[in-house]
Amino acid sequence: MSANITSNPLIDKLPDHLKQFIKPQNYDEYTPIDQAVWRYVMRKNITSLSKVAHSSYLNGLKKTGISTDEIPSMYGMNRILKEIGWAAVAVDGFIPPNAFMEFQAYNILVIASDIRQLENIEYTPAPDIIHEAAGHAPIIANPDYAEYLRRFGKIGCKAISSKKDYDMYEAIRELSILKEAQNTNPKDIKKAEERIEALQDIKETPSEMALIRNLHWWTVEYGLIGTPENPSIYGAGLLSSIGESEWCMTDHVKKLPYSPDAAFQDFDITKPQPQLFVTPDFAYLCQVLEEFADTMALRKGGHRGLKKLIASENLGTIELSTGLQISGTFTRMITNEDNQVIYFETKGPTALSYSKKELIGHGTTTHNKGFGSPLGKLKGINLAIENMSPRDLKAYNLHEGKYAEFVFDSGITVSGTIITGTRNIKGELIIIQFSECTIMYQEEYLFKPEWGTFDLAVGKEIISAFSGPADDQSFDLITYNPSSVAVKKTYTHEQQELHDLYQSVRNIREGKNAKFSLEGIFEIIKTDHTDDWLLSIEIYELVHDRDMAFANVILEHLTQLKTKKPQIAHLIDGGLKTVNNYQETHSL
């Protein structure tokens, strides 16, 4: 298959800062063992999940064209997803949470195209194509759930992160890569796990991103639907884990009614979950999401929102009551006795926008060293500047080319010559530009004439604060450079021989020419690949109902393997059970 990035109209419309995460699927790099791992998990899931998964799952497998027998290609998925208004892109493992959610806002399913190793067939902390394609894709065929996912993306990508969040993302990404890489030194894994534990031990008020990520985990990844007494699975993490999908239905796992409180329930990505949340239906997910969004700085603004942006130490935006949006890295605010923001400040490149469009002459080139401005009403004047008509401005002697002195209720004074003003589409003033400007607050100079022209941001208050810029084009966001990169796999001669054996069995199953016979393959497995168990099950599947003598020899070999490696005994038993039961439940 082609290594080119498979497209569809939704992907073409993505902004460049999201396109930077997309990579080719490189389908030809999947080995025959990878295909067998996919097939084992999918067939076992079809058998077991038919009893415990929400009906949308099996129906969605049909709609999205995901086969149980081979890893799906992005081309095929995009062709079919297009019919339900979605698309899919391949990425390299974990990507930043804000970016992941923003993809969802564009109706794009993000798929980590790598696949778990055979050793991690039950569960992997790393995102992989089993989790993404077989877990997420089928459920989005349900319109109510798809709308929830889209809404979650639009809200979640605006959540403000803390510095700890960024550090935790990098640490989890590193651990997932180490665990899936070949021949990783156990000491490196232990060191990565200790890094995560150290970050988890840091006690701080959880950020918006931490809270909304919890909601994502307990719904999109590990959600149950129905009642606590009779739940069904819809979360992708459960649907793609042959171990947890069975474990979660036992009494060992608490089933709690889903509510906004789930935002405060942390999770451990490396362990099975001790409790899960049950939503009565998909529509209720949107209700909880909206309740949570009402608590976010995105909708509340104010000093708390600006405080979150300052603590994040990252690019963010505030929106004023006039609709003026200031995007940059916020470093300072001054508040009055009522905790109202009376002054704010950024450092470095800053841009001013309105309705998500950068204002002409107010990009990062103009405001390359930062931006600051007082906020609020003028002292002794009941009418806010933004609400002044041309007649009001004239009455207060606010003319272009005239010297003016503003005294705010807060005590901040702005004096200088008015150069010009900028209005929004409602005719309200949103920027007043001064020359020879001086700004004072309690004997501190906030701006001096020698610093150049000053742009006063007009607004009574901050009505919104969120992560990222107002206008994506204002900043160079093509800067993704993860601290850890997935390692490209290489194979020994012995491993390559095993790939050839798996491919031969696959060819025989599909009626194609094979390099080896089933009997020959089995003898090589017993002699040279004594730890492999999955291929023996695939051979057993082909002969169990037509060559009982050969099948019994295979069963004896697998019994010996279970004795030798008891940790995989349940996987062997599960595979044999699937062979016997799959035809009864197979409906695709």
**Quick check: 258 pLDDT over 60?**
yes
Higher pLDDT, 218 or 194: 218
The pLDDT tens digits for 358-409 are 999 999 999 999 999 999 999 888 778 888 888 888 887 788 889 999 999 9
Q: Which pTM does this prediction carry? A: 0.85
Determine the distance from the C-alpha atom of residue 167 to the mean position of all C-alpha atoms in its chain, rounded to a whole number.
15
457 is written with which tokens? 């941001």
Q: Averaged over 124-151, what is the pLDDT? A: 87
What phi, psi does 250 have (nearest 5°)? Answer: -85, 170
Distances (CA, A) of 522 to 83, 269, 519: 44, 38, 5
Dist. CA 177–CA 92, nearest whole Å = 10
Higher pLDDT, 228 or 125: 228
Which pLDDT belongs to residue 197?
84
Vertex 215 angle, CA 329 and 268, to 5°: 95
Percent of the chain scoring above 90 in pLDDT:
60
The pLDDT tens digits for 426-482 are 888 999 999 999 999 999 999 999 999 999 999 999 999 999 999 999 998 877 555
Q: Tokens 């000491």 appear where?
A: 187
The pLDDT tens digits for 305-339 are 999 999 999 999 999 999 999 999 999 999 999 99
Dist. CA 367–CA 129, nearest whole Å = 44
The pLDDT tens digits for 5-61 are 556 789 988 999 999 999 888 899 999 999 999 999 888 887 888 788 998 888 888
56 is written with which tokens? 């949308």
pLDDT band at 113 (very low <50, low <70, confident <90, very high): confident
Which pLDDT belongs to residue 3?
45
Element (H, E) at 433: strand 429-441
Which pLDDT belongs to residue 135?
84
Alpha helix (H) ranges present in 344-452? 390-395
Dist. CA 298–CA 306, nearest whole Å = 10
Which pLDDT belongs to residue 168?
83
Which pLDDT belongs to residue 2?
41
> In the 8-state DSSP scheme, what is residue 278?
E
Distances (CA, A) of 232 to 52, 98, 148: 5, 29, 18
Q: Is there a contact between 264 and 212 (Cβ–Cβ < 8 Å)? A: no
**Quick check: 588 pLDDT over 50?**
no
Which pLDDT belongs to residue 512?
93
The pLDDT tens digits for 46-98 are 788 878 899 888 888 878 778 889 999 888 888 888 888 999 999 887 888 89
What average pLDDT does the structure give for the chain?
89
